Amino acid sequence: MEMIKKHFFSDMSVMLGRSMRHILRSMDTIITVTIMPIAFMLLFVYVFGGAIQAGTENYVNYLLPGIILIAIASGVTYTAYRLFNDVQKGIFQRFHSMPIARSTMLWGHVLTSLISNAISVSVIILVALIMGFRSSAGVLSWLAVAGILILFTLALTWVAAIAGLSAKSVDGATAFSYPIIFLPFISSAFVPTESMPPVVRAFAENQPVTSIVEAVRSLLMGQPVGNDIWGAIIWCIAILVVAYLIAMRVYKHKVV
């Protein structure tokens, strides 16, 4: 058992290194993923911020959690793209002819997604600090925020894996991200749900992004989180488990 674990983690490090090299050789992917959310943040804070009643003195404090989720939703698109390329080029079949644990090929892409999205989120938080973002959160609250964002990234990355493994074209592999990127706009990410029409408000208050945004926002502001944190965790884990099971099924059926 010890040898199997050692072999698995050794293979994992090789696959992770391979995926990370693609990222480092093409830093424009991280730059592209980061620029759009930052542009949204600048637009909403400096153009629309004065007209939006969010109940906070500094609108960037209210806005930041939603911007982070948009960045992650954009970032996982490249996971689908890289997986699609590997399938089309027969990379998986080549690796299968080698003594490599097969699941590590997928996990290499997943861990790369975590790392690249962490870089993007860090840059966005740095820009938000320059724009006036301030947090009264303690260490435990920041760790809780990190945990929620990791779960959210993992959940969306496995959704991206389904798209990348099953798509028949590049457009098909990346199209899944469009509705996910759009979801924060119909949530409490930009404005309180109380200001929305009844039907829109009902949808906004019962979709996963609102729970995640509210939990992250409360943690960052040092406010009581209430049931939002449990809603965020349950949504993330549910999406993660379902997406993982489907992705592994598609992987075994189509690639292995």
pLDDT at residue 140 in the model: 93
Torsion sign over Cα 43, 47, 48, 50: positive
**Does the structure show a pLDDT above 90 at 201?**
yes
Contact assessment for residue 214 and residue 192, using Cβ atoms and an 8 Å cutoff: no
Specify the higher pLDDT residue, 153 or 111. Answer: 153
Predicted local distance difference test score (pLDDT) of residue 11? 61
**Range 6-22 average pLDDT:** 63
d(CA 228, CA 24): 36
Say yes or no to pLDDT of 66 above 90. yes
**Could you tell me if 69 and 84 are in contact, meaning their C-beta atoms sit under 8 angstroms apart?**
no
Task: Tell which wins on pLDDT, 234 or 227.
Answer: 234
Q: Could you give the CA distance from residue 84 to residue 160 in angstroms, rounded to a whole number? A: 10
Distance CA 191, CA 53 (A): 7
Question: What is the residue-averaged pLDDT of the chain?
Answer: 83
The percent of residues in the chain predicted with pLDDT above 70, rounded, is: 79
Cβ partners under 8 Å of residue 162, min gap 6: 176, 243, 246, 247, 250
Going by C-beta distance under 8 Å and a sequence separation of 6 or more, which residues neighbour residue 137? 145, 219, 220, 221, 222
Instruction: Give the sign of the dihedral formed by CA 204, CA 208, CA 211, CA 213.
Output: negative
Which residue is it, tokens 């939990």?
Answer: 215
Q: Which residues contact 87 (CB under 8 A, 6 or more apart)?
A: 164, 165, 254, 255
Confidence of residue 115 (pLDDT cuts 50, 70, 90): confident
Residue 31: which pLDDT band, with cuts at 50, 70 and 90?
Answer: confident
User: What burial class does residue 1 get, using C-beta atoms within 10 Å of its C-beta: 0-12 exposed, 13-18 middle, 19+ buried?
Assistant: exposed
Maximum Cα interatomic distance, the chain, rounded to a whole number of Å: 61
Q: What is the pLDDT of residue 93?
A: 66
User: pTM for the full model?
Assistant: 0.87
Whole-number pLDDT of residue 4: 44
The rounded percent of the chain whose pLDDT value lies above 90 is 37
